[in-house]
């Protein structure tokens, strides 16, 4: 053989070697193996990739018996049928082998899944001479696909049964998926809400709110919208929709948008009923306050006349009455009229406070002087009831408050204390200043208040004793009025009591002027 011929053979051998290397690399990369079965000689050829795939030592020569022994009987029958049909029809073939046991070189040698595909090799006369093909182990791929299918089926089942409407869509509004709740709740289909079509069913007054659903939320954020939407049969439902965007982690771009919508019609109707009830209650309260204010004015006019004329008669300005008993009657008329006028004044003030029309006129008042005036007024009442009244004032504090309101507060507290203190008891009123505030405390040794009654006191028309045999005269407005007037001054009322052990009430007023006192309400 000449030099040129040997050179050419060397080049060819090198090329063939490179080709085999490339083929082996391809087999390893895609984990496949090439095989050929000679129909006449009944012999097998396996590529290196095939040996690796089957877990068999390359020095071994696999035969048909070995292959059959690693296939379940059902698979043996199936493979034989596929091969037989391919030889008969000269057509390409494919079959999947399940539960294949592989060779000892692989740790996982059981329950493997292999795909085989190939074709029939023909001679020049068109007769079958061999079968050629490739095998691939698809166990892992198949298990992943099966797991994915199971997960998808579970997700489909979950969305089918979900009570909320779940919608996946693109940024352009194209609906990729809509749960069955869309049909159940709204009687609508995915096509009807595609590309923002749902807005055509939204109540005109709620379009701006519903439009929030179309805005793409920022990463990690969500958007919520509440709106009315029309059911297929024509009535409207309230929906609450929460929207989140799914972003691509590698590019940061929006992939899809998911919206979950819930039917909140029952909740919304309940909220509207509560709101309507509150509006009705407020309207009724305003009407009540207006009625009390009007009635109080109407009643005060004749009462002032009664009190005025009774004072003229008591002073006998136009001569003696003639009978001494008339003087007693005139005194009773005068006192009853004054008491009734005080009650009406309390009702009028309470109505003003509730209507937001109470206007304070704060001025500088000496606390000691204000207490002296009130003690003087209540002196006869206390003496008649056998109750001792005393005063303790430290530091001569001056408070900045409305004179008439302050007098009402002090008189109400002292009057209550005297009224509910049995004969032989004491009522002590104290005054002091601390932290920019003037404090007044009224302590009595009276009958006290139970914990159950304490919870009700401070509300208009509430009295500690509901029993008419035990309750004292009055409307039950006194303590509520005190509390309201003190709070108008920016202070608060604190009350401590124990049944049978007396009561202590403490209120506070500002020492310095504040701009808020010149405002109404």
Q: What is the DSSP string of 175-220?
A: EEEE-THHHHHH---HHHHGGGGGGGGB-GGGHHHHGGGGSPPPTT
Task: Decide if 151 is inside a domain.
Answer: no
| pLDDT over 80 (residue 410) | yes
18-22, 329-333, 434-438, range with greatest mean pLDDT:
434-438
Q: Judge whether 436 lies within some domain.
A: yes
Question: How many CA atoms does the CB half-sphere of 271 hold within 13 Å?
Answer: 6
Mean pLDDT over 23-45 rounds to: 83
Same domain, 345 and 376: no
Q: Is the distance from CB of 408 to CB of 378 less than 8 angstroms? A: no
Q: Same structural domain for residues 134 and 113?
A: yes
Name the more confident of 420 and 316: 420
The answer to whether position 6 is within a domain reads: no
Type and span of the H or E element at 304: helix 265-314
What totals of helices (H) and strands (E) does the chain contain, helices first? Answer: 14, 17
Q: Given a cut of 90, is residue 143 above it in pLDDT?
A: no
Average pLDDT over residues 257-272: 92
Of 55-64, 131-140, 269-278, the one with minimum mean pLDDT is: 55-64
Q: Do 452 and 375 share a structural domain?
A: yes
Number of domains in the chain: 4
Lowest mean pLDDT among 218-227, 241-250, 354-363, 401-410: 354-363
Residue 270 pLDDT level (bands cut at 50, 70, 90): very high
Residue 471 pLDDT greater than 60, yes or no: no
Query: Is it the case that residue 365 has pLDDT exceeding 60?
Result: yes
427 and 417 in contact (C-beta within 8 Å)? yes
Q: Are 200 and 186 a contacting pair, CB within 8 Å?
A: no
Mean pLDDT across 468-475: 41
Give residue 348's domain range.
273-352
Task: Determine phi and psi for 90, rounding to 5 degrees.
Answer: 60, 25
For residue 108, what pLDDT band results from cuts at 50, 70 and 90? low
Nearest to 342 by CA among 377, 367, 316: 377
For residues 112-132, give the mean pLDDT: 92
Backbone torsions φ then ψ of 119, nearest 5 degrees: -150, 170
User: How high does pLDDT run on average in the chain?
Assistant: 81
**pLDDT for 324-357, tens place per residue?**
777 777 777 877 777 777 777 777 777 777 767 7
**Interval 367-375 mean pLDDT:** 87
| Contact between residue 155 and residue 258 where contact means Cβ atoms under 8 Å apart | no
For the chain, what is the largest distance between any 2 Cα atoms, rounded to a whole number of angstroms? 173
CA distances from 246 to 93, 190, 471 (A): 43, 20, 70
pLDDT at res. 459:
55
Residue 464 has pLDDT above 60, yes or no: no
The domain spanning residue 256 has which CATH number?
Answer: 3.30.450.20
Q: What is the pLDDT, as a whole number, of residue 469?
A: 32
Residue of 106 and 61 predicted with greater confidence: 61
* Range of weakest confidence among 27-36, 201-210, 212-221, 232-241: 27-36
Residue 341 resides in a domain: yes
Candidates 476, 481, 477, 475; CA nearest to 507 is 481
- Half-sphere exposure of residue 210, counting CA atoms within 13 Å on the CB side? 21
> 169 and 138, same structural domain?
no
Q: Give the pLDDT of residue 10.
A: 58
CB 440 within 8 A of CB 507: yes
Share of the chain above pLDDT 90, in %: 22
Element (H, E) at 353: helix 324-355
**Please, what sign has the CA dihedral across residues 456, 460, 464, 470?**
negative
The domain spanning residue 313 has which CATH number? 1.10.287
Q: Name the least confident of 143-152, 166-175, 441-450, 502-511.
A: 143-152
Residues in Cβ contact with 239 at an 8 Å cutoff, skipping those fewer than 6 apart: 165, 226, 227, 228, 229, 261, 262, 263, 264
In a domain, 380, yes or no: yes
Distance CA 201, CA 100 (A): 58
197 and 109 inside one domain: no
Average pLDDT over residues 371-392: 86
| pLDDT class of 520 with cuts at 50, 70, 90 | very low
Give the Cα separation of 419 and 440 in Å (integer): 19
Q: Is the dihedral of CA 182, 186, 188, 193 positive or negative?
A: negative
- Mean pLDDT across the stretch 394-407? 85
Say if residue 507 is in the same domain as residue 398: yes
- pLDDT the model gives residue 187: 92
Q: Which of 211, 238, 263 is the last residue of a domain?
A: 263
The β-bridge partners of 34 are: 134
Residue 419 belongs to some domain of the structure: yes
514 and 391 both lie in a single domain = yes
Residues 174 and 182: beta-carbon distance below 8 Å: no
Average pLDDT over residues 399-410: 87
Query: Same domain for 365 and 500?
Result: yes
Q: Do 503 and 370 sit in the same domain of this protein?
A: yes
**Which of 333, 352, 371 represents a domain boundary (last residue)?**
352
Last residue of a domain, one of 317, 333, 352: 352
Q: Could you read off the pLDDT of 48-96 as tens digits, one per residue?
A: 888 888 888 888 877 777 777 888 888 889 999 999 999 999 999 999 9
Residue 249 DSSP one-character state: T
pLDDT at residue 446 is higher than 50: yes
Mean predicted confidence (pLDDT) in 190-201: 89
Q: Which of 296, 353, 357 is nearest to 484 (CA)?
A: 353
DSSP 310: H
**Model confidence at 455, in pLDDT bands (50, 70, 90)?**
low
Statement to judge: residues 52 and 122 lie in one domain: yes
Q: What is the structure's pLDDT at 160? A: 67
Provide the percentage of residues in the chain whose pLDDT is more than 70: 84
Among positive and negative, which fits the CA dihedral 54, 55, 59, 60?
negative
Above 70 in pLDDT, residue 311? yes
Q: Is the residue at 481 inside a domain?
A: yes
pLDDT score recorded for residue 449: 82
Same domain, yes or no, for 385 and 510?
yes
Give the closest residue to 310 by CA, choosing from 343, 344, 335, 342: 335
pTM beyond 0.85, yes or no = no
The pLDDT, as a whole number, for residue 117 is 93
- Specify whether 178 is located in the same domain as 95: no
Task: Determine the pLDDT at residue 457.
Answer: 64
- Measured CA to CA, the distance from residue 131 to residue 369 in angstroms comes to 123
CB 377 within 8 A of CB 335: no
Kindly indicate the confidence band of residue 473, based on its pLDDT and cuts at 50, 70 and 90.
very low
Identify the top-confidence range among 343-352, 396-405, 417-426: 417-426
pLDDT band per the 50, 70, 90 thresholds, residue 7: low
CATH number at residue 423: 3.30.565.10
Residue 5: the pLDDT is 58
Give the residue with greater pLDDT, 179 vs 295.
179
On whether residue 154 sits in a domain, the answer given is: no
């Amino acid at each position: 053989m000449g030099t040129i011929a040997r050179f050419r053979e060397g080049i060819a051998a090198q090329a063939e070697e490179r080709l085999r290397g490339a083929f082996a690399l391809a087999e390893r990369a895609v984990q496949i193996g090439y095989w050929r079965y000679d129909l006449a000689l009944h012999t097998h050829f396996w590529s290196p990739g095939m040996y690796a795939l089957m877990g068999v030592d390359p020095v071994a020569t696999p035969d048909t018996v070995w292959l059959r022994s690693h296939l379940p009987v059902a698979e043996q029958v199936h493979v034989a049928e596929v091969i037989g049909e391919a030889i008969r029809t000269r057509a390409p073939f494919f079959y999947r082998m399940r539960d294949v046991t592989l060779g000892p070189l692989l740790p996982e040698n059981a329950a493997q899944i292999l795909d085989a595909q190939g074709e029939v090799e023909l001679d020049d006369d068109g007769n079958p001479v061999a079968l050629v093909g490739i095998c691939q182990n698809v166990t892992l791929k198949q298990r992943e696909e099966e797991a994915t299918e199971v997960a998808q089926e579970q997700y489909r089942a979950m969305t089918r049964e979900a009570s909320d409407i779940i919608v996946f869509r693109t940024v352009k509004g194209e609906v990729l998926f809509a749960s069955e709740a869309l049909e159940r709740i709204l009687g609508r289909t995915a096509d009807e809400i595609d590309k923002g079509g749902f807005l055509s069913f939204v109540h005109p007054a709620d379009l701006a709110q519903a439009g929030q659903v179309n805005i793409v939320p920022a990463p990690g954020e969500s958007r919520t919208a509440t709106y009315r939407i029309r059911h297929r049969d024509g009535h409207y439902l309230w929906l609450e929709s929460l929207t989140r965007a799914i972003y691509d982690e590698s590019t940061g771009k929006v992939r899809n948008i998911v919206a979950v919508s819930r039917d909140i019609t029952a909740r919304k109707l309940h909220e509207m009923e509560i709101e309507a009830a509150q509006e009705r209650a407020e309207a009724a309260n305003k009407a009540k306050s207006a009625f009390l204010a009007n009635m109080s004015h109407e009643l005060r006019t004749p009462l002032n006349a009664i009190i005025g004329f009774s004072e003229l008669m008591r002073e006998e300005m136009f001569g003696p009455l003639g009978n001494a008993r008339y003087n007693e009657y005139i005194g009773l008329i005068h006192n009853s009229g004054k008491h009734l006028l005080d009650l009406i004044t309390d009702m009028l003030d309470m109505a003003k406070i509730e209507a937001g029309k109470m206007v304070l006129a704060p001025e500088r008042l000496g606390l000691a002087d204000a207490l002296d005036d009130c003690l003087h007024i209540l002196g006869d009442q206390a003496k008649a009831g056998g109750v001792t009244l005393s005063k303790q004032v430290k530091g001569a504090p001056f408070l900045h408050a409305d004179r008439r309101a302050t007098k009402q507060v002090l008189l109400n507290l002292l009057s209550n204390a005297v009224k509910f203190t049995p004969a032989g008891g004491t009522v002590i009123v104290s005054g002091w200043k601390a932290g920019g505030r003037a404090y007044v405390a009224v302590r009595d040794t009276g009958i006290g208040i139970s914990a159950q009654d304490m919870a009700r006191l401070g509300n208009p028309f509430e009295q500690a004793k509901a029993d008419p045999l035990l309750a004292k005269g009055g409307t039950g407005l006194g303590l509520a009025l005190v509390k309201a007037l003190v709070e108008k001054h920016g202070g608060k009322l604190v009350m401590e009591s124990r049944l049978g052990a007396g009561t202590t009430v403490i209120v506070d007023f500002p020492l310095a002027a504040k701009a808020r006192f010149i405002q109404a309400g």
